[in-house]
Chains A and B, each alone.
Chain A
Amino acid sequence: MYELIEKAEIFNVHKMVIKAPEIANSIKPGQFVIIMGNEYSERIPITVSDWNTDTGAITLYVLELGISTLELARMKAGDSLYAVTGPLGIPSEIKNYGTVALGGGCYGIGGIYPIAKACKEAGNKVISIIEARYSSMFYHEKELHAVSDQVLYATSDGSKGKKGKVEDVIGEMLEEGVKIDHAFFMGCTQMLERCSEATRPYAIPTKVALNSIMLDGTGMCGACRVSIGGETKFACVDGPEFDGHKVDWKELNRRKSAYTEHEAVVYQSYSHGCLAEKKLRQEL
C-alpha cells in the first residue's frame, strides 16, 4: 500500500504526495509512474514532479480527466493508493546545452520542474515558461523559480504574464533573437504540437513528453505506440520524450481519443450512483 501523505487541489489538477521510498530512491528527471487508486481503477501514467529521498515521498500532479483520475481526486491524505509502479520510461537527457527553454502547461507545470532542476545543476541557463487559463491556476511556482534563471508566464485572460500560450512567449523570444539551444515541453498534446511548431523554423532541438494511452508501461502491450519520423515507437519504453519535430500529431490525437465514448458511459454510471446516494441521504 502506498500512503497518500498530502493532497491539495489546484482547480482540476490535484497534488498528490505519496509514500514510495523505493521509487524516490531510483527515479530520475523525465520518468513517470503508473498508479491505480483502487483495484478497479485504470492504470494511469503520471509524470513525477518531485521526490525526497529522506522522507521517501514522491509528488505527482494529476489532471482530473475521466473516471479513474476523478476517483484519485476524491482521495484524502491518509488514504492509500492500490498501486504505484515505477520509475518508468527513459530519463530526460540532461547535459550542458547552454540555454534551455522548458515549457509546461496543465500537469506539465509541475512536470518540467525536475528537468529544469537537473538542467540548472548541469550548468545551463534555464528559462521556464508556464501557461494557464488564469493566474490563480499556477502552482509549484516557488520551486520552479528556485531552479530557473527566468520564469515567464502566459495566461489565456492576460491576468499574469503574456496573454496567450507558451508558444507565443517562446515565439516572441525567438523572433527577438534570444538564443535557445534546447527545448523541453510537457502538457496536453495540442500544446506540445504548437510549441514544436514554434521551435521548428529555428531548428531548435525539441523534446516533448508524450502522453499516449498506456496499459502496462513495460513495452508489453503496444497500446502507447506513436509514429516518430515514420517509425513506430512505444512511448513507455522508447520514450516518453521524443523529437517534437518528428511526431505524427494527427495519429497521436486520434489514438488518444479511442475511448472518449467509454468515458461518457462510465461517468454517467458514476454520477447516477452519486445522485442515488444523494437522494437516499435526503430521504433519510
Chain B
Amino acid sequence: MELTAKERMAIERHGMAEQPPDLRNRNFEEVPYGYTPEEAVAEAQRCLNCKKRQCISGCPVEVPIPEFIALVAEEKFAEAARLIKTKNVLPAICGRVCPQETQCEEVCVRGKKDVTKAVAIGNLERFVADYERENNLMEVPELPDKNGFKIAVIGSGPSGLTVAGDLIQLGYEATIYEAFHLGGGVLVYGIPEFRLPKKIVEKEIGALEDLGVKIYYNSVIGRLYKVDDLFNIMGFNAVYIGVGAGLPIFLNVPGMNLNGVFSANEYLTRSNLMKSYLFPKYRTPMVIGKKVAVLGGGNVAMDSARTALRLGAEKVTIVYRRAREQMPARAAEVHHAEEEKIEFRLLSSPVEIYGNEQGWATGMKCQRYELGEPDESGRQRPVPIENSFFEFDCDQVIVAIGGQANPLITATTPDMKVNKWGYIEVDDWGRTNKEFVYAGGDIVTGAATVISAMGAGRRAAKAIHEDLMKETDETLRPPDEEVE
C-alpha cells in the first residue's frame, strides 16, 4: 500500500533502543540494540523519495540511499543490503560509525530544519547489514574472469579494504599487507567494542576473503618490503598505500613521560586490539585509572573516556581547549559521553602533569581559555586567559590530540612526494607522483573519518583500474566503465 507524502511526513523518527547509561558504563557491549524489522519498515516509510537525491551527494561513496530505503519499506532487507554493497563494501560498519549527521542525513529534506528529524539513514544501513549477516543471507557475488593484474594494498583499514573489495570485483588479484596480527586497522585497534563489535569487522573482512582477497598479516611494509620491492620482487602492477594513523602527538608540557600518561592510540590498542579489558585471560596488561583525564575533543577522546569508564574509572574528565560546539567529535558520541556522566572541562588546557616520587601521574595544572578571533579553519581561536590556572587530581592521562604522519613508508620511498607535514601528496583520484602508486585515508589527509577513507579508496580503485586498463589492450576495458 503506497503512502501519501502527507502520511510519510506524519511519521516521527525512530530512535534506536539503547542500553541505559548506568548499565552500559560498566560493560563493553554495544550501546544501541538496533532496530526491529517493524521499526525499520516504519522508519523507511518516512523517506519521501525526492526527485533531487541530495542524500546521495552527501555520501562520500554515493550509496543509492532512496533505492535501498524503498527496499526496506518493502521488507526486502537482504536485497537492500546487497544494493548498498554495490557502493559500500562495509555497510554494517558504516551504519555504526559514519557521521551521518554531517553527511547524508544533514542534506535530507526531512532534516532541513532539524537534522535530528532526518530519515535515520545510518540506522537503516546498520539494520539491513545486520539482518543479512545474522540470518546468514550474505552471498558471494559472481566475479568476472581474472584480468591478470595484481594489486598490493598496504593496510587493512577502511580505505584498504575498499580498494581491495572494489578491485577484486573488477577482476584483479588483490593482496593486502597488514602490520598487525588482525585485520581492520582502526576498526579493530581504535574503535571500541561498545561502538563497533569486533565480530562484525571479522565477518566483513571474512566476506572479502571469500571473494578472494588475500591478506598477509604481521607484514610491515617499509621494513619487510619497500614499495619498489612490491613491484620488482613481488610482481605487483599497482600499489595502494592506506597505512592510516601516524605517530601520536604529546603535549609539550612537563610530565608527559610520567607513568600513567598514555597516547590514546596506546590506550585504545591495549583495550581493543589486545583485549586487555579481558585481562588476565588476554595477557596484555592495562593500568586502571581511578581518576582519568582525557585531553582532546574528537571521537578518539570520547572513545578513550568511555573506555576508561568501562574499565573501572570512578571519574573521567575530558579536557578540551575550545568550546563544546567546536568539538570535532560526532554529536552522538558527545551525547553518549554526557549521558554516561563524563565530565567536560572545556576551554581548558594542561600546562603541567604532576607526578609522585615513583614517577606516576597524580594530577594536572590547567589554564583557562576564551574564544578569540577565527583562525584559518574558521573556528574561533582559543586564547589563554592570564593567571587563570586551576588544578585537579588524576592518576591517568590519555592524550587524544591527534597525530603526525608515520614515516615508515615515506622514508623508505624517497622519490614519493609528501607535503611539509609528511603526508603523501596525491591528485583528486589518489595518484601519487610515482607511477602506479596510489594513496588514501589518513596518510593523505591526516586524521579523518572511516567513510572519507573509504571514499578515497573508492576513487583510487577507479584510478588504478583506469590507469592499468590504459596500459593494456583496449578490448580488456569493460564496456560499461565510466571514465571520469
Give the size of the chain B interface in residues (CB under 8 angstroms).
Answer: 41
- CB <8 Å contact, B359 and A219: no
Q: Is B285 an interface residue (CB 8 A)?
A: yes
Q: Shortest distance in angstroms between B69's beta carbon and chain A's nearest beta carbon?
A: 38
Q: Which residues of A from 250 to 281 have beta carbons under 8 Å from B?
A: 251, 254-255, 257-259, 262-263, 265-266, 269-270
Stretch of B8-16, B255-263, B423-431 with 4 or more beta carbons under 8 angstroms from chain A: B255-263
- CB <8 Å contact, B281 and A40: yes
- CB <8 Å contact, B280 and A227: no
Stretch of B84-92, B192-200, B216-224 with 4 or more beta carbons under 8 angstroms from chain A: B216-224
- A268 to B, closest residue via Cβ: B280
- CB <8 Å contact, B224 and A215: no
Q: Is B48 an interface residue (CB 8 A)?
A: no
Question: Digit string of A215-247 for contact with B (CB within 8 Å is 1, else 0)?
Answer: 111111111010100001010010000000000
- CB <8 Å contact, A218 and B281: no
Stretch of A80-88, A112-120, A137-145 with 4 or more beta carbons under 8 angstroms from chain B: A80-88
| Assembly CA distance A41 to B246 (angstroms) | 25
- CB <8 Å contact, B283 and A83: no
| Assembly CA distance A26 to B284 (angstroms) | 28
Q: Is B408 an interface residue (CB 8 A)?
A: yes
Question: Digit string of B269-292 for contact with A (CB within 8 Å is 1, else 0)?
Answer: 110001000011111111100000
Given contacts A222-B263, A237-B408, A258-B259, 5 further A-B contacts (CB under 8 A): A42-B274, A216-B189, A218-B406, A237-B247, A262-B280
Q: Is A126 an interface residue (CB 8 A)?
A: no
Chain A residues whose CB sits within 8 angstroms of the CB of B181 once the complex forms = 36, 39, 43, 82-83, 85
Q: Shortest distance in angstroms between A33's beta carbon and chain B's nearest beta carbon?
A: 9
Could you pull out 13 A-B pairs where Cβ atoms are within 8 angstroms?
A: A85-B181, A215-B274, A218-B179, A218-B220, A221-B266, A222-B263, A225-B257, A232-B250, A232-B256, A237-B247, A251-B359, A254-B358, A266-B283
Chain A residues whose CB sits within 8 angstroms of the CB of B245 once the complex forms = 220
Chain B residues whose CB sits within 8 angstroms of the CB of A26 once the complex forms = 223-225
A36-B181, A251-B257, A255-B259 known; A219-B408 Cβ under 8 A: yes
- CB <8 Å contact, A88 and B223: yes
Q: Pick the contact of B248 from A68, A220, A254, A270 — CB < 8 Å?
A: A220
Question: Digit string of B178-202 for contact with A (CB within 8 Å is 1, else 0)?
Answer: 0111000000010000000000000
- CB <8 Å contact, B408 and A85: no
- CB <8 Å contact, A222 and B250: yes
| Assembly CA distance A67 to B280 (angstroms) | 10
| Assembly CA distance A43 to B180 (angstroms) | 10
Q: Which residues of A from 75 to 132 have beta carbons under 8 Å from B?
A: 82-88
- CB <8 Å contact, A222 and B247: yes
Give the size of the chain A interface in residues (CB under 8 angstroms).
Answer: 46
Q: Can you list the 9 inter-chain pairs with the closest CB atoms, starting with the nearest?
A: A262-B285, A221-B266, A85-B218, A266-B280, A83-B181, A254-B359, A222-B263, A259-B285, A222-B248
| Assembly CA distance A266 to B276 (angstroms) | 12
Chain A residues whose CB sits within 8 angstroms of the CB of B281 once the complex forms = 40
Chain B residues whose CB sits within 8 angstroms of the CB of A71 once the complex forms = 283
Q: Shortest distance in angstroms between A22's beta carbon and chain B's nearest beta carbon?
A: 6
A222-B265, A223-B266 known; A266-B285 Cβ under 8 A: yes
| Assembly CA distance A265 to B223 (angstroms) | 36
Chain B residues whose CB sits within 8 angstroms of the CB of A40 once the complex forms = 281-283
- CB <8 Å contact, B224 and A86: yes
Question: Digit string of B199-232 for contact with A (CB within 8 Å is 1, else 0)?
Answer: 0000000000000000001111001110000000
Q: Is B328 an interface residue (CB 8 A)?
A: no
Q: Is B20 an interface residue (CB 8 A)?
A: no
Q: Is B407 an interface residue (CB 8 A)?
A: yes
Q: Is A23 an interface residue (CB 8 A)?
A: yes
| Assembly CA distance A262 to B287 (angstroms) | 8
- CB <8 Å contact, B287 and A258: yes
- CB <8 Å contact, B283 and A68: yes
Q: Shortest distance in angstroms between B167's beta carbon and chain A's nearest beta carbon?
A: 23
- A84 to B, closest residue via Cβ: B218
Q: Shortest distance in angstroms between B90's beta carbon and chain A's nearest beta carbon?
A: 22
